[in-house]
Amino acid sequence: EALPGRTLVILHSDHGEGFGEHGYRYHGQHLFDDLIHVPLVLAGPGLPAKRVAQPVPLLDVTPTLLDLAGAPLTGDLRGRSLLAWVGEQAPAPRPVFAEMLADANHSDRRVIINWPYKLQWGITFGEHTLYDLRADPGETRDLSRERPAVFRRLYARLRRWMSEEIEVSRPVRE
């Protein structure tokens, strides 16, 4: 039974679905926003109605829950609490990353979103595309040649993230 005034509701999705955008159907085939820009709704006591347009990673859900519960935020959490958005001043923007690891059915891909720009790197096939999500939310116009400085900056940051923050899991062999 829900306790009035003490119930927190969190609604989110881990991925979207493709309906033919960019030539893909279903999910798990690419990292365009139709698959990775998903709903995240927090509702509960002390949380004012507010819409945040800046992308945030789902890694922020766990620290937010801990923060709402009054539990300490440990240093090993990669995300940060979204309660910073409750105040009048939004927190400083930061890059959001997404990845799709290669397997029998998928190619290796990485993404960095540093609002309003998004860089996709299709590692398996050596593809790079840069989009301005504010001007082109459908990701139809590759700007990588038109904005080489933005491309180089985001590519360098994406490579740094890959070298410093990604933990590769290997199957345990007995």
Per-residue HEC secondary structure of 2-19 comes to CCCCCCCEEEECCCCCEE
Q: CB–CB of 22/139 below 8 Å? A: yes
pLDDT of residue 174: 53
Residue closest to 34 by CA, chosen among 138, 107, 115: 138
Q: Report, as an integer, the average pLDDT of 116-126.
A: 92
User: How far is Cα 8 from Cα 137, in angstroms, rounded to an integer?
Assistant: 31
Q: Where are the beta strands (DSSP E) in the chain?
A: 9-12, 18-19, 25-26, 40-43, 96-100, 109-114, 117-122, 127-132
Q: In the predicted model, is pLDDT for residue 113 greater than 70?
A: yes
User: How far is Cα 44 from Cα 129, in angstroms, rounded to an integer?
Assistant: 39
pLDDT of residue 169: 56
pLDDT of residue 143: 98
Mean pLDDT of the chain: 83
User: How far is Cα 108 from Cα 35, in angstroms, rounded to an integer?
Assistant: 16
- Cis bond before residue 116 (omega within 30° of 0): yes
User: How far is Cα 50 from Cα 86, in angstroms, rounded to an integer?
Assistant: 8
Residue closest to 122 by CA, chosen among 98, 141, 140, 145: 98
Residues whose CB falls within 8 Å of the CB of residue 149, separated by 6 or more in sequence, listed in order: none
User: How far is Cα 54 from Cα 124, in angstroms, rounded to an integer?
Assistant: 29
Q: In the predicted model, is pLDDT for residue 22 greater than 70?
A: no
Q: Give the pLDDT band of residue 78 (cuts 50, 70, 90).
A: confident
User: How far is Cα 174 from Cα 166, in angstroms, rounded to an integer?
Assistant: 25
